[in-house]
Every structure is written in C-alpha cells, then in structure tokens.
Structure 1
Amino acid sequence: MNIDFFKKELSDVLSKKRYEHSIRVLETSLSLGKIYNADLNKIALASLLHDYAKEFTREKLLKISKEHFKDETKDYLTNVEILHSYVASYIAKEKFKIDDDEILNAIKFHTTGRKNMSLIEKIVYIADAIEPKRDYPHVEKIRDLALVDLNKAILLEVNKKIEYLIKGDYIIHVNSIEMRNWLLKIS
C-alpha cells in the first residue's frame, strides 16, 4: 500500500481541516492497531478513506446512496453524517479497487458501528471518535478505555452518542443500537 498516494488523493478532495482529521484518525488507529495486534495495512487504508466523501455535496451523496445503498440508507437520506460513510466505501471499492470487505466495512460503518464488527472496524470506529482533537464530555475516559478494552470504550462512546442524539431529538441509526446491544452481550 502506498500511503503517500492515498494522502495525496485525500488532500485533493478534502479541506485542510478534514484532511488533518483523517491523518489524526490514521495515527490513532495505527496506535490502537499495534496494541491489539491488528492488520496495520487494513487499518491505514480504512482510516485514510473513512471520510473521503465527507465534503461531497448533499446531491452527490444522495445520488450515490440511492443508486448503491438504497435499502440500507432509505430511512436516513436526510442525514449526510451517515450517508458519507456509505459513499466513501463505494468510492474505495470503485475508484481505488479495494475489495477487502473488512476495509470496506470499516469505512462504511465508522459512523454508526454495527453488531459483529471486526477488530479493524472497531479500531477505525473508535479512533474516529477519540482522535486527539475530539473534545466532548467523557472523551478522555473513552480514550483511556480504548487502550485496554476496545469493547468497553466503544460501549461508553455509543452510550454517550445515543444520549446526545436523544437530547437533540435526532434519529438514531439502528446499527448503533444493535452494536450497543451486541457489545453488552459479549462484554
């Protein structure tokens, strides 16, 4: 894998702020990957590409989502925060010819999570939530937990995310709820 190639591709489509976030997610993911003995190449690709579509226009996100993820996104078409992850996985597959399901799923579910996540998916999911510039209540505790127990870190993160979404009267993606319940069963 040529990490410089993907960094260049990212810098061409993302703002400086979003690009720097992606690099911090990469660094956080790689640190966690070393702790949990995960495939660092897979982590690097998924981390770098996770927000590739984050700054696409709403129209472009809707078009690709409706064409390629119709059933999966039909209830969430008003939420670009969810759609960008699906579209980024599509771009990874179509533009960059990535065919590894673990990488594609880590990109696709980095926002919502899902039950039965692989180690790579868990690492990218939590790295996105705890990269060094993230600043929200309980993030330090989640960061500390991530160093010793990924499942507990993700469970705390998703609990806090769900609380936030409920307080704001936002839709909660079913994948997040299923992930939470799955983590409770296996932890």
Structure 2
Amino acid sequence: MDINFLKKELSSILSKKRYEHSIRVLETAIELAKIYNIDLEKVAIAAILHDFAKEFKRDELVSISKNFFKEETEDYLDNIEILHSYAGTYIAKNKFNINDSDILNAIKYHTTGRKNMSLIEKIVYIADAIEPKRDYPHVKKIRELAFKNLDKAILVEVNNKIEYLVNENLVIHINSIEMRNWLLKNKLIGGNKL
C-alpha cells in the first residue's frame, strides 16, 4: 500500500498536531524496524494508521467498539484513549482493505500492548511512546533503550504508564498488565534487572 496515499488520507481527517505526531511515529518506527530487521512496509502502514481514529467522536468510537470488538472493549467503553485503537483497526480493515494480522494487531494494541506481541506490534507500540516530541518522566531512558533492547524499553514504559494510572486513580487495561507480566515471566528482557 502506498504510504503517501495513507499520509494524504490521514492529513484530511486529523488535526495538524495529531497528523505531525503520526508522522513522527512513522519515522521512529521505520528507524526501529531497520535496527530490528523487520518488514519496513508493514511497520510503516501500521505506524501511519495507528491514530487514524484518534479524533473520532466518542459516539462513533463506542459504536464501532460495541459492534465489532464487543468482548474486548465492554469494560472500557468510557475510555476513548483505548477505543480509538479498536476503531483504527476497523478503519484499516474496512476502509483500506488491510487484512494483514501483524498490521491490524499493531494498530489495535498500540495503546495497551498485550502478551505475545509480534515484533511489528512492539515497534509501533514503543514508537508511539518515544517519538521525539514525547516528554514525560523517563522517556529519555525509554528512548535510548528502544534502540538497544526493545523489550526492556517496553517494560520501563509500561511500568511508567501503570504508575501514572495508579497515581491518577485511572483504570489499567488488563492487556498492559498481562504484557508486563509476560515480559518478566518469559525473561524477554534478559532478566528482571534494568
């Protein structure tokens, strides 16, 4: 699929700020894909489309989620930060005819992560978290780690995210917890020490 076409589609639906974020995620994901020797086209498609539904109206996000991802989203219908990932997956499949499960899963899980993530899923997940304009505690460390050890970077990022959600008294998606535990349990980070 032509990335320039997807960029044009994206620019017509997103605000300038969100579009620029998507371009930075695309660039970061491509850099990581080159380091980890993974299909650049798949990574690029998933990265450019990851936030396609980010600015959809709440009603539309809830409707898509209820109709097409009911089981996965029923406990999170009040959280558009999570729902936009599912709606984006729906759009990728139904508007752009993307059927590749790696691409669809990278879009679907770019916010929460999940256990057993593929390399493409990991790259899009962490690229979204570390693109150059991201600024939050420990992002510099996470950014540096991502280019050396993807799993360690994801673990530090999800620990950071969980701590933030706990401090703000917000719901933590079960996928994020399962991803964290999966990384630790399977020692994908090369041991438990960071």
TM-score (normalizing by structure 1): 0.99
Pairing 1:100–2:100 present: yes
How far apart in 1 are the matches of 2:13 and 2:63?
A: 18
How far apart in 1 are the matches of 2:185 and 2:70?
A: 30
Pairing 1:9–2:9 present: yes
Pairing 1:130–2:143 present: no
How far apart in 1 are the matches of 2:27 and 2:184?
A: 28
How far apart in 1 are the matches of 2:70 and 2:118?
A: 24
Structure 2 unpaired stretches of 5+:
189-194
How far apart in 2 are the matches of 1:60 and 1:166?
A: 28
Structure 1 unpaired stretches of 5+:
none
Aligned-pair identity (%): 72
* Number of equivalenced pairs: 187
SS of structure 2 residue aligned to 1:76: coil
Q: Name the structure 2 match of 1:74.
A: 74
How far apart in 1 are the matches of 2:127 and 2:56?
A: 22
Superposition deviation, residue 2 in structure 1: 0.9
Pairing 1:161–2:187 present: no
How far apart in 2 are the matches of 1:92 and 1:3?
A: 13
Superposition deviation, residue 120 in structure 1: 0.1
Pairing 1:59–2:59 present: yes
Q: Name the structure 2 match of 1:28.
A: 28
SS of structure 2 residue aligned to 1:71: helix
How far apart in 2 are the matches of 1:146 and 1:110?
A: 15
Superposition deviation, residue 141 in structure 1: 0.2
TM-score (normalizing by structure 2): 0.96
> Which amino acid in 2 is paired with 1:106?
A
Q: Name the structure 1 match of 2:192.
A: none
How far apart in 1 are the matches of 2:83 and 2:28?
A: 23
Q: Name the structure 2 match of 1:149.
A: 149
Superposition deviation, residue 185 in structure 1: 1.7
User: 1:105-116 maps to which residues of 2 (within 5 A)?
Assistant: 105-116=105-116
How far apart in 2 are the matches of 1:39 and 1:139?
A: 26
Q: Name the structure 2 match of 1:88.
A: 88
How far apart in 1 are the matches of 2:15 and 2:169?
A: 29
Superposition deviation, residue 3 in structure 1: 1.1
How far apart in 2 are the matches of 1:26 and 1:53?
A: 16
How far apart in 1 are the matches of 2:102 and 2:163?
A: 29
Q: Name the structure 2 match of 1:50.
A: 50
How far apart in 1 are the matches of 2:2 and 2:91?
A: 17
Cα distance per residue 1:38-60 (max 9 Å; x no partner): 11000000000000000000010
Cα distance per residue 1:59-110 (max 9 Å; x no partner): 1001111100111000000000000000000000000000000000000000
Moved over 3 A (4+): none
Cα distance per residue 1:23-52 (max 9 Å; x no partner): 000000000000000110000000000000
- RMSD of aligned C-alpha atoms? 0.5
